[in-house]
Amino acid sequence: MKIQPAHNNYFLGDFYINTYNKIKLSLEKIFKPFVNEVNRFKDTFSDNAFIVILSIICDIPVFSIITLFLLVIFISFFSITLLGGAVASLFTILASLILHLVDLIYCKAIGIESFCPICQRKLNLPAYSCPKCGVIHSNLSPSKYGVLLRKCQCGTKIPTTFFNGRQKLTAICPECSTKLKDGGKHKEILIPIIGGAKAGKTCFIGMAISQIEKTSKPNGLDFSYPTIVDDDFHDIKLNMSKGLLPIKTADLRLKYYQFYLTPPGQKLNNLISLCDIAGEAYGSLKEIGSQIGYKYANAFLIVIDPLSVRKYRNEIKRKINLSKYGASENELDDILSILITTLENMHCLTSKNIVKADVAIVFTKCDIPGLDEIIGATAVRNYMQLNHISSAYEATNRVCEQFLINYEEENFLNGLKSKFKSMQFFTCSALGHVADGSPFKPVGVEDPILWVIDKASASINLKNKWGRKI
């Protein structure tokens, strides 16, 4: 263990130092009369060694009896002290090991884990700062520094487990010193948002979180979005409520938008992390491959701009002004190929192995004229009536898959089906209309995120919302 800015447990440190000092002092007191007598004789008969030796021999019986008596008391007392200290030390070590193991099992059993939103590392246990002096404790767990409480170098006693309040301290990433949203007692659900440039990922994320905030109570969930430095969600939310588009994402690393979504009364919060990245990053396997956050993803959400489907784009461009919709021209096959290759490398998978994660595929910009009749709500209703299907989500899958097949994106569809554990198509419009200065009217943006959260969280049960098991 790395040396911590804390005092060792008394029975694993100061006890032995104090006992050594007491033994040394006691021995000095026991033998001091004898040494003093020797020195007196030496000073008196310094010129006659024979007399000195003879005098000492004569006094030996007297000093021997006194010294022996004191030594018996000394040995008895310190034997009991050392035995008690050894027992206490052993108990402290065993208690530390047991509590450390119990804490690890507890965290594993209920799914406690955190991810740093800056360096993207998985943190089984964050570092913590002392509430008084601010010094960082990188391994705050039961150890030689304390079983339930650790005494910081400043004298402050701080808890070492989640059982007695460790989560109340300020948590920090031990790798890059980033301050985390809470004390680490939460289950984090990590959902990277995949999509090319101009696919509308940032608009989708902003509007989806805003809608989840509005619909959380009807869904029986508590929502909160704690603000931290460098998080622009509230600015995005404010601007979009005024009909203003957010600034295009320029980050070539995953940017985490984090909020809590938890059933009322549950002790362990769900921290949802939606991870955005500039669409340009999907032009390079190296850029995406360096985002270690993908390795820890619970699910994926792929945002598809219908205008990125080349054949459909060529067909519709004669009917609409593409510039008003910010058409994405990233090829779907290329994006999916880079994502799959990245995941295979990170998880050491072969082409035959599936990724053990769910994926939601979301067609955005469904306010494009005529698209509603092809893959939107109107198309889904018609399909359900014609084919006697009761599930709107099953019907959505059918019409979206047919759209991809009709417009020659079958390779993309087959790649999805063969590589992920399960998949569900969704359609939405983050804006409701082209940007014209009037307030946006999002449609269907929250459903895909709630779907993957429901799949990833045992505590969130929205099965009734989908009308079937998912």
Q: Which residue, chain included where needed, has tokens 């021209």?
A: 329
Side-chain-side CA neighbours of 74 within 13 Å: the count stands at 18
What integer pLDDT is reported at residue 15 of this predicted model?
58
pLDDT band at 61 (very low <50, low <70, confident <90, very high): low
- The residue with greater pLDDT, 145 or 92, is 145
- Residue-wise pLDDT tens digits, 66-107: 666 666 676 766 677 667 666 767 777 888 889 989 998 988
- Residue-wise pLDDT tens digits, 191-248: 999 999 989 999 999 999 999 999 999 999 999 998 765 678 888 888 888 888 888 8
pLDDT band at 276 (very low <50, low <70, confident <90, very high): very high
Query: By the 8 A CB rule, do 358 and 456 touch?
Result: yes
Write out the two tokens for 242. 């005024």
Sorted by sequence, the CB contacts under 8 Å of residue 226 that are 6+ apart come out as 181, 182, 258, 259, 260
What integer pLDDT is reported at residue 92 of this predicted model?
76
Least confident of 224-238, 280-294, 336-350, 375-389: 224-238
Determine the angle formed by the axes of helices 392-406 and 377-387, rounding to 10 degrees.
110
Tell me the longest C-alpha to C-alpha distance in the chain: 128
What integer pLDDT is reported at residue 409 of this predicted model?
96
What integer pLDDT is reported at residue 286 of this predicted model?
92
What integer pLDDT is reported at residue 355 of this predicted model?
94
With pLDDT > 70 as the criterion, what percentage of the chain qualifies?
82
pLDDT band at 416 (very low <50, low <70, confident <90, very high): very high
Query: What is the average pLDDT across 401-422?
Result: 95
**Is residue 311 over pLDDT 80?**
yes
Closest CA to 136 of 174, 193, 167: 174
Per-range mean pLDDT, top range of 52-66, 163-177, 237-251, 425-439: 163-177
Query: What is the average pLDDT across 309-322?
Result: 90
What integer pLDDT is reported at residue 278 of this predicted model?
92
pLDDT band at 312 (very low <50, low <70, confident <90, very high): very high
Tell me which CATH homologous superfamily contains domain 187-466.
Answer: P-loop containing nucleotide triphosphate hydrolases (3.40.50.300)
Sorted by sequence, the CB contacts under 8 Å of residue 134 that are 6+ apart come out as none
Q: What is the mean pLDDT of the chain?
A: 85
Q: CA 383 to CA 245: how far, in whole Å?
A: 34
pLDDT band at 463 (very low <50, low <70, confident <90, very high): confident
Query: What is the average pLDDT across 277-289?
Result: 91
Which residues face 207 on adjacent strands?
A: none
Quick one: DSSP state of residue 429?
B
Write out the two tokens for 81. 């002290």
Closest CA to 257 of 234, 284, 285, 290: 234
With pLDDT > 90 as the criterion, what percentage of the chain qualifies?
53
Q: How do the domains of the chain map onto residue ranges?
A: 11-110, 187-466
- Residue-wise pLDDT tens digits, 383-408: 999 999 888 999 999 999 999 999 99
Least confident of 141-150, 272-281, 373-382: 141-150
Three-state SS for 325? coil
**Is residue 294 over pLDDT 60?**
yes
**Is residue 51 over pLDDT 60?**
no
**Is residue 268 over pLDDT 60?**
yes
Three state DSSP letters for 21-64:
HHHHHHHHHHHHHHHHHHHHHHHHCCCCHHHHHHHHHHHHHHHH
Torsion sign (Cα): 182, 121, 126, 101? positive
Least confident of 21-35, 124-138, 293-307: 21-35
- Residue-wise pLDDT tens digits, 155-177: 999 999 998 899 999 999 999 99
Torsion sign (Cα): 201, 202, 203, 205? positive
**Is residue 134 over pLDDT 70?**
yes
What integer pLDDT is reported at residue 42 of this predicted model?
56
What integer pLDDT is reported at residue 285 of this predicted model?
92
